[in-house]
A and B are shown apart, each in its own frame.
Chain A
Amino acid sequence: MDLITPEFGLVFWTLITFLILLFILRKFAWKPILGAVSDREEGIKDALASAEKARQEMENLTADNERILKEARAERETMLKEARDLKAKLIADAKEEAQAQANKLIEQAQTAIESEKKAAMAELKNHVAGLSIDIAEKVVRDELSNKDKQLKLVENMLGETTLN
């Protein structure tokens, strides 16, 4: 029975000792230790959060870069396309113009040739006419050198010519 009866003396000293222990440890041990621990934990949490933020920013940056790169690539593509189109158009235009020019030149040339030809023909005709007249003159002169022949000719000519 003695064993399980709390004695006043020990209860008294335990109470006093425990309260002193609690008071001193609370003020000089638990507060600094828990404070330090929670400060450190806060620090770690903050560091982690800022690292996460940095990572996020980095990711954003990368994404931005990617996007810009993509845009640039697309722009280059369009520019190239435009250039190609322009080139094709230029070539086509040039071709067309050249064609037109050529046609015009050909036409001019043809006209010139035509007129040259006409002039040449006219000259040829004149020449041929002169020659013919010369020949005719010679022939006539020759024909008309004797009377018989002159008469015969007149007769022929009269025979050919029908009076109407």
Chain B
Amino acid sequence: MTLNTLKRTVFTVLFLSVFSFGFAEGSKEGGEDKEFDAKEMILHHVKDAYGMHLFDWNDHPISIPLPVITYTDKGLTMFSSSAFHHDYHGHEIVERNGQKFVNVHEKVYVLDEGASSVEFDAEDHPTNAHRPTFDISITRNVFMMWVSIAVLFLIFLTAARRYKKSEDNVPSGIASFVEPLVLFVRDEIAKPMIGEHKYRRYMPYLLTIFFFIWINNIFGLIPILNGANLSGNIAFTFTLAAITFIITTFSGNKNYWQHIFWMPGVPVPMKIFLMPIEIIGMFVKPISLMIRLFANITAGHVIILALMSLIFVFKTVAIAPVSVAFSLFITVIEVIVTAIQAYIFTILSALYFGMATEEAHH
């Protein structure tokens, strides 16, 4: 039994209920484990992983194995993450397709030719292994993303069917729950930000990112899913911000580009001075979107996990009520944050589209 499995147990259970201290304490007779490292534990929870760990049962981690897919110069290789046997310290070597794969802190490395085990440098980076050219594994974040879109399909396709069934377009069932949210995006986000005449084109995108971000924020808070922190992952926020940037750039009209390259209504030296600022601003906007969502969601997870870590840092269960109380408080705030961050991402995207399509009014 390792402290890691213990930690996972405790965190899962603590996330779920206050009444599980006895169990957590009971299994705390670990013994020879190394010192508890809160930072490492938190980063492991916040970052992506190859398997979907659910909980531990009788000191054995129960997880959903997910496919590891890599592309190297030897071609595409695919195997189940269960081949690593929950190891992420590079001990377990998986031989597939004539290559040796190891899992080092939830990153797949390919051992160099001739190497038989991973060697680490002072900073804990492998020295005799390299990352595959492309690593397109179905990680737990990808898996949760697919779960989330399945849920979105279920909700919204059902809602849409409700309208088709009803004769007078009156919402019923799930549609009456969905409609206020859809109308909120339309009336409070798209219309005021983009304008009455042009908002229609952007509605599908705005609605999709709003609900996509929101549901993944919520999923990130569900304890049993063990913090599949998709919307707190920079790759996810980067992709969405990049799509917003592309749409903004492609819908930019003459007026938009004029404001960037040759600001109207100011003297020529000022125009030259403003141009680089505006060009930087073009990229800063999506970057701010990316960082805001990532940082907010990750921060929420880190705070909750750090509060939980107090129990292990102080090595006493007496601190548990404080930890639980605080993390409960933070979790409640996070529930609000899930919606707020989805709203902010959507409204800022809409604002950028509105700026790109705004007509000159001088």
Contact = CB atoms under 8 A, between A and B. Distances in A.
Interface of A: 2-15, 17-18, 20-22, 24-26, 28-37, 39-40, 43
B298 A3 contact: yes
A91 to B, nearest CB: 74
Contacts of B78: none
A29 to B, nearest CB: 4
Which 4 residue pairs are nearest across A and B when measured between Cβ atoms? Answer: A10-B235, A29-B156, A26-B204, A36-B163
B239 A37 contact: no
B142 A9 contact: yes
A10 B233 contact: yes
B157 A6 contact: no
A7 B105 CA distance: 14
Contacts of A39: 169
Contacts, number: 126
B205 A20 contact: no
15 contacts: A3-B47, A5-B234, A6-B234, A8-B135, A10-B48, A10-B233, A14-B145, A15-B243, A18-B240, A20-B149, A21-B212, A25-B152, A25-B156, A33-B163, A34-B186
Interface string B170-189: 11000100110011001000
A33 to B, nearest CB: 5
B243 A7 contact: no
Interface of B: 43, 46-48, 69, 105, 134-139, 141-142, 145-146, 149, 152-153, 156-157, 159-160, 163-164, 168-171, 175, 178-179, 182-183, 186, 203-205, 207-208, 212, 233-236, 238-240, 243, 294, 298
A6 B242 CA distance: 12
A11 B205 CA distance: 18
Given A10-B141, A32-B164, 9 more contacts: A3-B234, A9-B136, A15-B243, A18-B212, A21-B212, A26-B204, A33-B175, A35-B163, A37-B182
A43 B236 CA distance: 41
Given A3-B47, A29-B157, A33-B156, A13 B145 contact: yes
Contacts of B240: 14, 18
A37 B298 contact: no
Contacts of B183: 37
A28 B182 contact: no
A30 B157 CA distance: 9
With most chain B CB atoms within 10 A of its CB, the pick from A4, A29, A30, A39 is: A29
B142 A32 contact: no
B205 A22 contact: yes
Contact of A11 (B164, B235, B294): B235
B296 to A, nearest CB: 14
A26 B152 CA distance: 12
A35 B203 CA distance: 12
Nearest to A21: B149
Contacts of B235: 6-11, 14
B298 to A, nearest CB: 7
Nearest to B211: A25
Contact of A9 (B134, B164, B168, B208): B134
Contacts of B149: 17, 20-21
Contacts of A17: 142, 145-146, 149
Contacts of A33: 156, 159-160, 163, 175, 178-179, 182
A102 B203 CA distance: 104
B189 to A, nearest CB: 14
Contacts of A5: 234
Contacts of B145: 13-14, 17
A9 B139 contact: yes
B208 A36 contact: no
Contacts of A26: 204, 208
A53 B282 CA distance: 50
Contact of B169 (A6, A9, A29, A36): A36
A17 B208 CA distance: 12
Given A9-B135, A17-B145, A34-B186, A25 B208 contact: yes
